[in-house]
Amino acid sequence: MSSNSEQISKTKQVEAMFNDIAPKYDFLNHFLSLGIDKIWRRKVIRKIINDNPSDVLDIATGTADLAILLARKHPKVNIIGIDLAENMLAVGRKKVEELNLSNRIALKQGDSLSLPFENATFDVAMVAFGVRNYENPVKGMEETLRILRKNGKFYVLEFSMPRRFPMAQLYRFYFWAILPLLGRMVSGHKQAYTYLPESVNAFPDGNNFIVLMEKAGFLDCKYKKLSFGIATIYEGKKG
Ligand SMILES: C[S@@+](CC[C@H](N)C(=O)[O-])C[C@H]1O[C@@H](n2cnc3c(N)ncnc32)[C@H](O)[C@@H]1O
């Protein structure tokens, strides 16, 4: 995040950035990932459907893509999506209404680090491309643990860095040279798409992220790399 605004918390900067890019977010998301993000989301949802939850929290829901996909694939589940950025939620609400899912998906403004829910409210919590943006990831995940019911599951979908030749080299070139350029051209936002590779690079992945999940109190934590390690699904359980 920009260092000239040291006084502004990371949370405030993230909120402002996503409010700015909200109208272009969905297009850029699918365009810059060449649509692969949809495959990753489907994999997370398949796991969640196996848990057969009733109440699900989509943390850092953004424009609600993950919540919508779950609601479409699972006819009974009720989902609340929460996000800092009101403009992202506004895009999400429009999609939810157009798909007649307003009776099953509610979108609320809020911070993952202090969730506005009672203890033990949800069977499953999920977060896609959100944890990396938290001011304090362990604190955010402790909050997630608090709102989960006993034996509740937590799923994280997050970017990671491929390590093997030639994918590592190709991906680095795309991520650092091409993506920021395209992102800036389409969104008109100077920082958002340099923040993306910087934040992914600085964030722990694989076993290093599992350590954070365990620190937050999750049990049976494991992960599965997707697409040569460009993204990873993590999961853990509340005991
Ligand atoms: C990259 S977007 C991902 C949105 C959505 N989950 C998806 O898969 O497209 C990250 C989202 O996380 C939200 N976010 C970041 N930090 C947050 C926090 N502490 N609490 C709630 N939302 C947060 C941002 O506002 C943004 O909408």
Phi, psi angles (nearest 5°) of residue 4 = -75, -10
Separation CA 144–CA 57 (nearest Å):
9
Beta bridge partners of 124: 56, 153
- Split at pLDDT 50, 70, 90, the class of 130 is very high
Mean pLDDT of 188-215: 94
Smallest CA separation from ligand 1 atom 14, residue: 60
Confidence check: pLDDT of 5 > 70 = no
Q: Does residue 126's CB lie within 6 angstroms of at least one atom of ligand 1? A: no
What pLDDT score was predicted for residue 128?
98
Q: Does residue 66's CB lie within 6 angstroms of at least one atom of ligand 1? A: yes
pLDDT per residue as tens digits for the range 30-67: 998 889 999 999 999 999 999 999 999 999 999 999 99
Q: Does residue 64's CB lie within 6 angstroms of at least one atom of ligand 1? A: no
- Where are any strands of DSSP class E within 84-140? 105-109, 122-128
pTM of the model: 0.95
Mean pLDDT of 131-146: 97
Smallest CA separation from ligand 1 atom 10, residue: 130
% of the chain residues with pLDDT over 70:
97
Confidence check: pLDDT of 119 > 70 = yes
What pLDDT score was predicted for residue 3?
47
Say how many C-beta atoms besides its own lie within 10 A of residue 207's C-beta.
Answer: 9
% of the chain residues with pLDDT over 90:
90
Q: Does residue 193's CB lie within 6 angstroms of at least one atom of ligand 1? A: no
Q: Are 159 and 132 in contact (CB under 8 A)?
A: yes
Q: Does residue 33's CB lie within 6 angstroms of at least one atom of ligand 1? A: no
CA of 60 to the centre of ligand 1 (A): 4
Separation CA 171–CA 4 (nearest Å):
29
CA of 120 to the centre of ligand 1 (A): 22
- Split at pLDDT 50, 70, 90, the class of 7 is low
Confidence check: pLDDT of 218 > 60 = yes
Q: Domain ranges in the chain?
A: 3-237
Burial profile 16-48: b = 16 or more Cβ within 10 angstroms, e = fewer? ebbbbbbebbbebbeebbeeebeebbeebbeeb
- Split at pLDDT 50, 70, 90, the class of 4 is very low
What pLDDT score was predicted for residue 6?
52
Give me Rg for the CA atoms of the chain: 17
The CATH label, of 2.60.40.10, 1.10.357.140, 3.30.230.10, 3.40.50.150, for the domain at 3-237 is: 3.40.50.150
pLDDT per residue as tens digits for the range 151-174: 999 999 999 999 999 999 999 999
Confidence check: pLDDT of 2 > 90 = no
Q: Are 143 and 133 in contact (CB under 8 A)?
A: no
Q: Does residue 134's CB lie within 6 angstroms of at least one atom of ligand 1? A: yes
- Residue 80, H or E segment: strand 78-83
How high is the mean pLDDT of the chain?
Answer: 95
